[in-house]
Structure 1
């Protein structure tokens, strides 16, 4: 059975970009690696089906799909009652490494943000997209990206101070 060129292109895309996309998914999922892997797998399945019809850079399309799928998952989860173990929160990080503690604090703060705000900050600051690219990826106005960025950073500052206490 011959492999179609588009299928090879998709495989190459996944091999080259999966680690970067997993990092985005990890941040969108608030630091939950298992959820990030599931989210990425779900999105890559959808991207594969649409691969030949994607116009423009496939990475931009995939990142937008990750942000949207993450927000959809959050909406579905918020309708279900949480299990007691989920309400307990994540365990604190031990050790004396400042970098690890800082990373943990950022992930915890990101997890507290609404999904859309989290997506804006992840795409802008972790994936280094411009305001216009972020707006295009999320299907919203540039002004929305600006306001969500401003509010998100302010909220992150508040949350980081709370974590430091």
Structure 2
């Protein structure tokens, strides 16, 4: 066999291997498009495309929101940040019975931008907590604009009443889960 024949066979084998990897990635979803990250259950309120890396976005959110990282010393209803992992932050309210506000901010790295999604998972009926959550949302938008002046922010049309109705349905279901 000549060197030229070996080179052609080697290139053909590499092409087949590349095609196989492409098929596996396409069917398993590992090549997910950054513009369509999975949606967190709850009420999606804010989606943003931040034109920085996810690390810079995370650091900027911590710095700009300036929320405490533990509930120790907080009064009822005050908000704090709880890091669940490198790309997911929980924003909670202080609650004595563990039924306070839960908001989730997820960062999804992409080639052109980091997609930030803020979702409300649980919102109690307390007006004071609701006012703090609305202030938080304004602070979050301001923080995103400070991190990236060209941020693309989208607010969803979902209202807090929709989340309240969903929670009432869940509470009315016999097993505490979603009712049919």
Range into which the TM-score falls when normalised by the shorter chain: under 0.3
Higher strand share: 2
| TM-score between both structures, scaled by the size of structure 2 | 0.25
| Larger CA Rg, structure 1 vs 2 | 2
| TM-score between both structures, scaled by the size of structure 1 | 0.27
